[in-house]
C-alpha cells in the first residue's frame, strides 16, 4: 500500500496546537490513516512477545465474495474486540484469510468458459484447475480490499487461503489421521444432490423455501389388501420397495407382513411395521423409497429392503418403461396421469405448500440421492465437542444458545465430505488394480503403476475451514504462532452457522490439538435486518450495501450503526436514518475536540488534585470513571450495543451538552489558574473519551486524538482504567440538581415559545437548600436568565423538584393572553382525543373483537393524550 504523507491540518490554534478543519470529511482521512497504520506495522502480532495473547481468526469469506452488510457487522464486532485488547496491552492477532469456496468458484469459472463456448471437460482437470488459480489471482478476493475500507485491523502479514500450501498440508494430515482412526469411511448413503452442479451438497449449501406443490394420495393394491399412501413426489414411487405403517396402528396391523402390488410396475412390495411412521400424519401409511429419501433409507436399512435408484445424476428417469428419459419434473405429472387413468388416485391437494431444498449456488431443487461418498464418523468427535462446552472449556455467548448447540452436536449425523468437483482439496486416496485402498499423507509418495487411480472427488469446503483456528497458525508443524496464539480467544460469527461451521471447528480442533479447544468463547451475533425487523432480501428491495454507506457517511458512522445493535444473539436492525445520526455523532465529536483545542485543552502534567478542582470538573471526572467501568463490563460481556449507548450518551449529553457549556464561564474568565486547571481536565476527558470510542470508530478518533495529543497514533495508546479516587458522589448529586433546574427552565421557555437567544428576567429561590448557591451564575448563563431588578413582576412560576423555585417576568417575552388561548385550544383537543379513546376501550364490542395491535394502539393514544393534558395543565398553571 502507498502511504500518503498528508499533513494533519493546515493551520494551528492560538496556543500552537494543530487545528482541525471546520467539518469532518471521512474521505480525507480514512485511506490515509489506514495506509499509515499498515505501513507502521501496528496490526502485526509478535509470537515472541511476553504480553498475554489475544487471538481472533477471521471467519474466511469466500474468494468469490464481496463485502455485504453481514460481513460488515461481523468484522465491526471483531475489530472492536481486537482494537480494545491491543490498547489493553495484549499481543493481539486478528488473522485474515479466504475460503476457496469449491462450488461457488467452480461455477464462476465454468460460466466464463461457457461464454467462450467451452466446458471444463474441454480443458481437462489440470488445465481447468490452472484456470481457476488464474481467476483467483486476477479477480478473486475482492473482499480483502473492501475490508480495508471498513478499517479492519487484521495482520496482513499472516493472510491465509484454504488452498495455500500450508493449509493443504494440514488437510492431508488430518484426513490421514482420521482415516487411520477409522473416523473416515466410504459408503453408500443418502446425500443432498444438485442435478445441475452435479455434486453432493452440505446442509449449509441447501436453502429451504416453502414452495407450491401437489399432494396426491395413491391406492396400492385392491380390496381388503389395499393401502393408501400420500406423496409430493409421485415420480419416486417407481423406486418404492415397501410400504411402512406404525406397529401399533390397529388399522393396518392385519396387513403387516403381506405384500401389495406397486402400481404401474407389476412389482409386489412388502408392508412393514416401523416406529418411524407417524400414525397421525396423512393416512398413517408411507411409501418407502430407500434410494431417494433419507428417512426411507433408514427404514430400508432396518428392514433389509433393496435400494432402487430410478434417476441418474441429472434427475432423469432411468427406469425402463413409458417414463424412461423424462426429467423428474416432467415425470411427475406423467406418473400422476398414468395413476389417474388406472383409478389409483384417491385424492389430490393442489396447491400444497411444503418445504423444498434448493442449491444455494444455482437454486436448483435438491434431489435426495443414494450415492457412494466419503463420510466423517462424527459420533466420538461430536461428543468431545459437546463435552468442551459442558465442562466450561468453551463458553457460548449468549448462553441461551447453548441448548441449541447441544441439540445439534448430541444428535449429529455422519458428515458427507466428498464433492464431485475439480476445484478443491482432492481426496488423498488411491485405488489399486486388485481392490487396494491407500490413503496418502502429506509426506508420503502416492502409489503408481498400471491400474492405480486417485479418487476423483474433492473435499467439502467446510472440511478445510474446520481446521482454520489451528491450520492458519502453522499446524501440523509446532510453530511459534501455534504455541503463542492457540487456543484462540473468541470466535465471532452469526448464530445461523453455529452448527454448520462452529461445531465442525470444535470437532476437528479438539481432535487435532489433543483436547485443546479451538476458541475459549463463541460469540454469536444475530442477522442484520431493516429498521422494521424484516430480513434483508433483494426481492424486498431492502438490501444495504455497506460500501455505499461508507462512501456517503464514512466507515465510522457505518460501524457505529451496526455496533449499536450488536448484542450476543440479537438481530441487528439498521436504517439510513440511523447511519446519518451516527455521522452527526462523528461531527459532534469533531466539534467538541475543536472546541477543546481552540480553548487550550491540554494533557501536559498531572491532573490537579480533587480539592483544587471546581465541582463541575470533579463531576465530569466522576462520570468518566463510571463510564470506563461500565464500558469494560459491557465489552467483557460482548454487549457492543450497550457500549455504544453508554459512550454516545456520555459524549453527547454529559460532555458536549453540559460539560463544554459549563466550562465556558471559566475559560472566558480572568482567573488564569482556574482556566489552566479546567483546560487540563478538558484535555483529559477528551483524551479518554476518544480512546474509549476508538475500537468502534477508529478513523475519526485517530484523527482527533493525534491532533489533540501530538502523538502518532491512538491504535496502541493505553486503554483507560477507572480511577476510583476521582469518583465524587457529592459533585454528581450537585450537578444533577443544577441540570434539573436548567432543564426545567429550558423546557418552560420552549413550551412558551421563547426564543433560545432571548434572555428572561428571573428570581431564583431555594438554591441553598439544593446546594446550588455557588452555581447561580452558571444556571443563569445556561438558562438565559437575568437578575431581577426593582421593576420585577413575576408572571410565571416554576417549582423544580429539588426545592428550587423559579419566578419569571415574561412581560415582553411572552404574549400571556395569546399563549393562554393557544394552550386552552390544545387542552380541548387533547380532552376530545382522550374521551374518544376511553369510549373505545370501554366498549367490549371493540376490545373483544379488534386485533390486539389495534387495541394496543388505542391505549397508546390515550396515554399520549393524558400526558398532553398534564403538560398543558402545568403550562397554564405557570402562566
- Nearest C-alpha neighbor of 85 from the set 636, 687, 604, 463: 636
Cell 428571573 belongs to which residue? 762
**Which letter, b or e, does each residue of 486-503 get, where b requires 16 or more Cβ atoms within 10 Å of its Cβ?**
bbbbbbbbbbeebbbbbb
Q: Is the dihedral of CA 836, 841, 845, 848 positive or negative?
A: positive
Q: Judging by DSSP bridges, how do beta strands 785-787 and 760-765 pair with one another?
A: parallel
- Asked whether the beta carbons of 255 and 227 are under 8 A apart, the reply is yes
CA distance 311 to 288: 16
SS3 call for 492: strand
- E strand map for 360-392: 367-376
d(CA 825, CA 845): 32
* Binding positions for ATP: 538
* Other beta carbons less than 10 A from residue 426's beta carbon: 19
> Under DSSP, is residue 824 helix (H, G, I), strand (E, B) or coil?
helix
Instruction: Give the bridge partners for 92, in sequence order.
Output: 54
Distances (CA, A) of 136 to 62, 114, 129, 131: 11, 18, 11, 9
What does the alpha-carbon distance between residue 499 and residue 507 come to, in Å, rounded to a whole number? 11
219: cell is 391406492
| Residue 90 Cα distances to 58, 96, 695, 807, angstroms | 18, 18, 14, 58
**Residue 505, SS3 per DSSP:** helix
459: β partners: 418
Specify whether the CB–CB gap between 481 and 512 falls below 8 A: no
- Dist CA 768 CA 695 (whole Å): 44
Instruction: Detail the residues annotated as belonging to a binding site.
Output: 538
Q: What's the CA gap between 330 and 208, in Å, rounded?
A: 22
Cα(771)–Cα(779) distance, rounded to whole angstroms? 13
CA angle 688, 693, 695 (to 5 degrees): 120
Could you tell me how many residues make up the chain? 879
Mapped onto helix, strand or coil, the DSSP state of residue 500 is: helix
Question: For residue 599, which phi and psi values (nearest 5 degrees)?
Answer: -105, 15
CB 492, CB 528: distance < 8 Å:
no
Longest CA–CA separation in the chain, Å: 117
415 and 434 in contact (C-beta within 8 Å)? no
Angle between helices 698-709 and 672-693 (to 10 degrees): 150
CB contact at 8 A, 837 and 860 = no
8 Å CB contact between 317 and 235: yes
DSSP string, 660-677: HHHHHHHHTSS-HHHHHH
Q: Which parts of 325-474 fold into alpha helices (H)?
A: 328-341, 379-390, 402-409, 461-465, 468-471
Residue pair 492/533 in contact by the 8 Å Cβ criterion: no
Q: Is 467 helix (H, G, I), strand (E, B) or coil?
A: coil
- Cis peptide preceding 679, ω within 30 of 0: no
Amino acid at each position: 500500500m502507498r502511504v500518503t504523507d498528508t499533513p494533519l491540518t493546515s493551520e494551528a490554534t492560538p496556543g500552537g496546537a494543530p487545528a482541525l478543519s471546520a467539518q469532518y470529511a471521512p474521505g480525507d482521512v480514512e485511506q490515509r490513516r489506514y495506509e499509515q497504520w499498515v505501513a507502521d506495522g501496528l496490526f502485526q502480532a509478535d509470537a515472541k512477545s511476553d504480553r498475554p495473547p489475544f487471538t481472533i481468526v477471521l471467519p474466511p469469506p469466500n474468494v468469490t465474495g464481496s463485502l455485504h452488510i453481514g460481513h460488515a457487522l461481523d468484522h465491526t464486532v471483531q475489530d472492536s474486540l481486537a482494537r480494545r485488547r491491543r490498547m489493553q496491552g495484549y499481543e493481539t492477532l486478528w488473522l485474515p484469510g479466504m475460503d476457496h469456496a469449491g462450488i461457488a468458484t467452480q461455477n464462476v469459472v465454468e460460466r466464463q468458459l461457457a461464454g467462450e463456448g467451452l466446458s471444463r471437460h474441454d480443458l481437462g482437470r489440470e488445465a481447468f484447475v490452472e484456470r481457476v488459480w488464474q481467476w483467483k489471482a486476477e479477480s478473486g478476493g475482492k473482499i480483502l480490499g473492501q475490508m480495508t475500507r471498513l478499517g479492519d485491523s487484521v495482520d496482513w502479514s499472516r493472510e491465509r487461503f484454504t488452498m495455500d500450501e500450508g493449509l493443504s498440508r494440514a488437510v492431508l494430515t488430518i484426513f490421514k489421521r482420521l482415516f487411520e482412526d477409522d473416523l473416515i469411511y466410504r459408503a453408500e448413503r443418502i446425500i443432498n444432490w444438485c442435478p445441475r452442479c452435479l455434486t453432493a451438497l452440505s446442509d449449509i449449501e441447501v436453502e429451504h423455501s416453502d414452495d407450491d406443490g401437489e399432494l396426491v394420495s395413491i391406492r396400492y393394491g385392491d380390496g381388503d389388501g389395499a393401502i393408501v399412501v400420500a406423496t409430493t413426489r409421485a415420480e419416486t414411487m417407481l423406486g418404492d420397495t415397501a410400504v411402512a405403517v406404525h406397529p401399533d396402528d390397529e388399522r393396518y396391523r392385519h396387513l403387516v407382513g403381506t405384500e401389495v402390488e406397486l402400481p404401474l410396475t407389476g412389482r409386489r412390495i412388502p408392508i412393514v411395521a416401523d416406529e418411524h411412521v407417524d400414525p397421525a400424519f396423512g393416512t398413517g401409511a408411507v411409501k418407502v423409497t430407500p434410494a431417494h429419501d433419507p428417512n426411507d433409507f433408514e427404514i430400508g436399512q432396518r428392514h433389509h429392503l433393496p435400494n432402487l435408484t430410478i434417476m441418474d445424476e441429472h434427475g432423469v428417469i432411468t427406469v425402463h418403461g413409458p417414463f424412461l428419459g423424462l426429467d423428474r419434473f416432467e415425470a411427475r405429472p406423467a406418473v400422476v396421469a398414468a395413476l389417474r387413468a388406472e383409478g389409483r388416485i384417491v385424492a389430490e391437494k393442489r396447491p400444497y405448500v411444503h418445504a423444498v431444498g434448493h442449491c444455494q449456488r444455482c437454486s436448483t431443487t435438491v434431489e435426495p440421492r443414494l450415492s457412494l461418498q466419503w463420510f466423517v464418523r462424527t459420533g466420538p468427535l461430536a461428543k468431545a465437542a459437546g463435552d468442551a462446552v459442558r465442562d466450561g472449556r468453551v463458553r457460548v455467548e449468549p448462553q441461551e444458545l447453548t441448548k441449541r448447540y447441544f441439540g445439534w452436536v448430541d444428535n449429529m449425523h455422519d458428515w458427507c465430505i466428498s464433492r464431485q468437483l475439480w476445484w478443491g482439496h482432492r481426496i488423498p486416496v488411491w485405488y489399486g488394480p486388485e481392490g487396494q485402498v491407500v490413503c496418502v499423507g502429506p509426506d508420503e509418495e502416492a502409489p503408481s503403476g498400471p491400474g492405480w487411480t486417485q479418487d476423483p472427488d474433492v473435499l467439502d469446503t467446510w472440511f478445510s475451514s474446520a481446521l482454520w483456528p489451528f491450520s492458519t497458525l502453522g499446524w501440523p508443524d509446532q510453530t511459534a504462532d501455534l504455541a503463542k496464539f492457540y487456543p484462540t480467544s473468541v470466535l465471532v460469527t452469526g448464530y445461523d452457522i453455529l452448527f454448520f461451521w462452529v461445531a465442525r471447528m470444535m470437532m476437528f480442533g479438539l481432535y487435532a490439538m489433543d483436547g485443546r479447544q479451538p476458541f475459549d468463547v463463541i460469540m454469536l451475533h444475530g442477522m442484520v435486518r431493516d429498521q422494521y425487523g424484516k430480513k434483508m432480501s433483494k426481492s424486498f428491495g431492502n438490501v444495504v450495501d455497506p460500501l455505499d454507506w461508507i462512501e456517503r457517511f464514512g466507515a465510522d458512522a457505518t460501524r457505529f450503526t451496526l455496533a449499536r445493535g450488536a448484542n450476543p444473539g440479537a438481530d441487528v436492525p439498521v436504517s439510513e436514518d440511523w447511519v446519518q445520526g451516527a455521522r452527526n455523532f462523528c461531527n459532534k465529536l469533531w466539534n467538541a475536540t475543536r472546541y477543546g483545542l481552540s480553548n487550550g485543552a491540554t494533557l501536559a502534567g498531572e491532573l490537579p488534585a480533587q480539592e483544587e478542582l471546581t465541582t463541575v470538573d470533579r463531576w465530569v471526572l466522576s462520570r468518566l470513571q463510571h463510564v470506563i467501568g461500565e464500558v469494560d463490563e459491557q465489552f467483557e460481556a460482548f454487549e457492543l450495543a450497550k457500549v455504544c449507548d453508554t459512550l454516545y450518551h456520555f459524549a453527547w449529553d454529559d460532555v458536549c451538552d453540559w460539560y463544554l457549556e459549563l466550562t465556558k464561564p471559566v475559560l472566558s474568565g480572568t482567573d488564569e489558574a482556574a482556566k489552566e486547571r479546567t483546560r487540563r481536565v478538558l484535555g483529559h476527558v477528551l483524551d479518554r473519551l476518544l480512546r474509549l470510542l476508538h475500537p468502534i470508530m477508529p478513523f475519526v478518533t485517530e484523527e482527533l486524538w493525534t491532533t489533540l495529543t501530538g502523538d502518532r497514533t491512538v491504535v496502541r495508546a493505553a486503554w483507560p482504567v477507572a480511577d476510583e479516587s476521582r469518583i465524587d458522589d457529592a459533585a454528581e448529586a450537585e450537578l444533577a440538581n443544577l441540570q434539573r433546574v436548567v432543564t426545567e427552565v429550558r423546557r418552560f421557555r420552549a413550551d412558551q415559545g421563547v426564543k433560545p437567544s432571548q434572555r428572561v428576567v428571573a428570581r431564583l429561590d431555594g438554591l441553598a437548600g439544593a446546594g446550588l448557591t455557588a452555581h447561580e451564575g452558571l444556571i443563569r448563563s445556561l438558562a438565559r436568565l437575568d437578575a431581577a431588578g426593582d421593576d420585577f413582576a413575576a408572571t410565571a412560576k416554576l417549582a423544580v423538584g429539588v426545592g428550587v423555585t423559579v419566578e419569571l417576568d415574561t412581560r415582553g417575552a411572552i404574549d400571556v393572553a395569546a399563549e393562554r388561548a393557544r394552550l386552552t385550544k390544545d387542552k380541548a383537543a387533547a380532552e376530545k382525543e382522550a374521551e374518544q379513546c376511553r369510549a373505545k376501550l370501554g366498549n367490549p364490542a371493540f376490545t373483544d373483537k379488534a386485533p390486539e395491535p389495534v387495541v394496543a394502539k388505542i391505549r397508546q393514544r390515550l396515554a399520549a393524550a393524558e400526558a398532553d393534558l398534564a403538560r398543558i395543565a402545568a403550562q397554564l398553571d405557570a402562566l
